[in-house]
Amino acid sequence: MRIPAATLDDMTRALGAAECASYRTCYPKLGPRALLERGFDPKTLTVLNLILRAHNGAGAYPQHALFLSGDGCGNYYFVPVGDPIGKVLLWAHDPPGIEPTGEPLMEFLQRAEQTHRIVTEPAPGDVYITRTEVPGESILDPIDMDEWRAVVARTPALEYRGYRRGRNPFTGKELRFDCPGGSVARDAGREVLFRLYAGRVCASDLAPSFDPLLRSLADMLRAKIVRSE
């Protein structure tokens, strides 16, 4: 079932009243148009937060927080629950930790740039299988892991792995990296990786010979195929 995310009330229902409290204070003062233009509208923030919650491996990200945007380096600005002023903090991943910025949410929303706007189409060469018209909104009507694994199990052309392969350039040793839902298909001796991210199935650089497989997967998942233009 699709999660509504167009309004402030939708956002609150999806993310939680406590998580959205400081944002709700700022919203009428800044206005929906200004927030939409800057990429801090309810839908953008709902999508960002649902994606981070869905991919919060081993509880890496802070719990009970409203995430606002990234810094372009894999770190995220957020407002913790229980702060009525909404002082913005920065979660850093390397080294892991939380840093204060000293900036109130009201000022942040007027100054910051949104680095996680909703994706409107795949990157060149990418293909998505998604249930939403806008592919970046796929987390609002997601294909979940159980569904995907069941479809993979029914598809002889796919092999489920849950990881992707790499190779150490110095030693030649094979490396394995976690890849949620990672499954491979083969064509002319080449492996192609299908992975599940943000409620959509993603693949890259698919030859036309994969079109029947894509159509079969989309039909089983009650979804559509979206390609880059």
Other CB atoms within 10 A of residue 229 CB? 5
* The pLDDT of residue 56: 81
- At residue 58 the predicted structure's pLDDT band, cuts being 50, 70 and 90, is low
Which of 22-36, 157-171, 196-210 has the lowest average pLDDT?
Answer: 157-171
Residue type, 92: A
Q: What is the mean pLDDT of the chain?
A: 92
* pLDDT of 229 higher than 90: no
- At residue 154 the predicted structure's pLDDT band, cuts being 50, 70 and 90, is very high
Determine the average pLDDT of the residues in 76-105.
88
The Cα–Cα gap between 136 and 227 comes to 13
Reported as a single tens digit per residue, the pLDDT across 167-202 is: 878 887 888 888 989 999 988 778 899 999 999 999
Residue type, 75: N
Q: Which residues pair with 196 in a beta bridge?
A: 201
CB 210 within 8 A of CB 227: no
Residue type, 130: T
Reported as a single tens digit per residue, the pLDDT across 101-141 is: 999 999 999 999 999 999 999 999 999 999 999 999 999 99
**Cα atoms in the 13 Å half-sphere on the side-chain side of 229:** 2
DSSP-derived secondary structure for 24-79: HHHHHHH-HHHHHHHT-SHHHHHHHHHHHHHT-GGG-SPSSEEEEEE-SSS-EEEE
pTM above 0.85, yes or no: yes
* pLDDT of 31 higher than 70: yes
* pLDDT of 33 higher than 70: yes
Helix axes 211-221, 145-153, angle to 10 degrees: 130
